[in-house]
């Protein structure tokens, strides 16, 4: 049975050099009861993680992939709430209590996102050109070949809705999400074979499943996290096979745009207009 006062934080990792800093940051910033479940996917960090009774290490000798890692950790989680974050993130003080205060059973909540200079472990200060990221939209699928679903930051919406502290969100980056464990288990997130077990389309699966099942995805601007602004020097933790990646995107597009056509159309209309989408988008996508 889930512990109603506990937040279970899942960190999937593969060859991550900022994992220890991320764990230490969470331990320092959380003000409620938490457990951190770190998945070491086919590697041991050097140096090893420091001992802490709030940290559970799940080591897997064979690389299984991010989705399998998240689900392995979720199966062990004792909390009422689950939060997943990447292994290169910084958080606001008290983030856990703020997120819990605005999260219904069928919600997915995402904090405001800043860019993290991981080497300095500092936030890259927002500017007019690159503000904090509160909103993302789904780019017009027809601009990609083959057509596929991709999120991108929505700076105009960030500005025009800046006074709304908890607001509807069409899309988000998969680097951090928060929900009840009940919602996670009800929908069997990250288990569908068509996604090829890859990191891609994680956010799309979660956001579209939630919206189309009558739930709600929101951004909570009362708190924040900062995600590493990746550079080539840090590489990629999880290897991505290009053929599997293409199959993942094709499956996702067909499932959401075609098989769930009515719900997808209603969702796009809810957030309309979207940057870069043509007025006759339905005719073009479904002709």
Average the pLDDT over 76-97 and give the result. 98
Q: Which of 56-65, 147-156, 177-186, 223-232 has the lowest mean pLDDT?
A: 223-232
What rounded mean pLDDT belongs to the chain?
94
Domain segments of the chain: what residues? 3-286
Whether 76 shows a pLDDT value over 60: the answer reads yes
The closest of 148, 79, 88 to 113, measured between CA atoms, is: 88
Percent of the chain with pLDDT over 90: 85
Average the pLDDT over 152-180 and give the result. 97
* Token pair in block for residue 153: 């930051």
Domain 3-286 has what CATH class? alpha beta
Contact 45, 23 (CB under 8 A): no
Contact 170, 136 (CB under 8 A): yes
pLDDT digits (tens, 9 = 90+) for 248-268: 999 999 999 999 999 999 999
Dmax (CA) for the chain in angstroms is 58
Higher pLDDT among residues 169 and 1, named by residue: 169
Owner of token pair 């680097």: 175
Higher pLDDT among residues 196 and 212, named by residue: 212
- Please report the pLDDT score of residue 207 as a whole number: 98
pLDDT digits (tens, 9 = 90+) for 265-286: 999 999 999 999 999 999 999 9
Helix (H) or strand (E) holding 168: strand 166-168
Name the pTM for this structure. 0.95
């Amino acid at each position: 049975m889930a512990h109603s006062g506990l937040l279970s934080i899942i960190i999937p990792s593969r060859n991550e050099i900022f994992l220890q800093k991320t764990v230490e940051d969470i331990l320092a910033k959380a003000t409620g009861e938490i457990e951190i479940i770190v998945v070491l996917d086919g590697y041991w960090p050097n140096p090893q993680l420091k001992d802490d009774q709030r940290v559970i290490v799940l080591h897997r000798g064979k690389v299984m992939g991010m989705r399998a890692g998240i689900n392995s950790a979720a199966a062990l989680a004792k909390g009422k709430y689950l939060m997943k974050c990447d292994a290169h993130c910084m958080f606001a003080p008290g983030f856990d209590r703020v997120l819990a205060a605005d999260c219904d059973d069928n919600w997915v909540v995402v904090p405001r996102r800043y860019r993290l200079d991981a080497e300095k472990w500092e936030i890259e200060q927002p500017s007019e050109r690159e503000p904090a990221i509160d909103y993302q939209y789904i780019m017009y699928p027809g601009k990609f070949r083959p057509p596929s679903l991709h999120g991108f930051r929505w700076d105009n919406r960030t500005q025009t809705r800046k006074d709304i502290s908890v607001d509807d969100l069409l899309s988000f980056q998969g680097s951090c999400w928060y929900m009840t464990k009940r919602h996670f288990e009800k929908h069997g997130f990250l288990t569908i074979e068509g996604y090829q077990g890859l990191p891609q389309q994680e956010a799309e699966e979660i956001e579209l499943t939630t919206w189309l099942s009558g739930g709600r995805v929101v951004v909570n601007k009362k708190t924040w996290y900062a995600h590493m602004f990746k550079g080539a020097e840090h590489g990629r933790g999880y290897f991505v096979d290009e053929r599997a990646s293409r199959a993942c995107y094709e499956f996702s597009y067909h499932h959401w745009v075609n098989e769930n056509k009515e719900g997808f159309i209603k969702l796009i209309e809810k957030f309309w207009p979207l940057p870069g989408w043509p007025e006759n988008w339905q005719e073009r996508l479904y002709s």
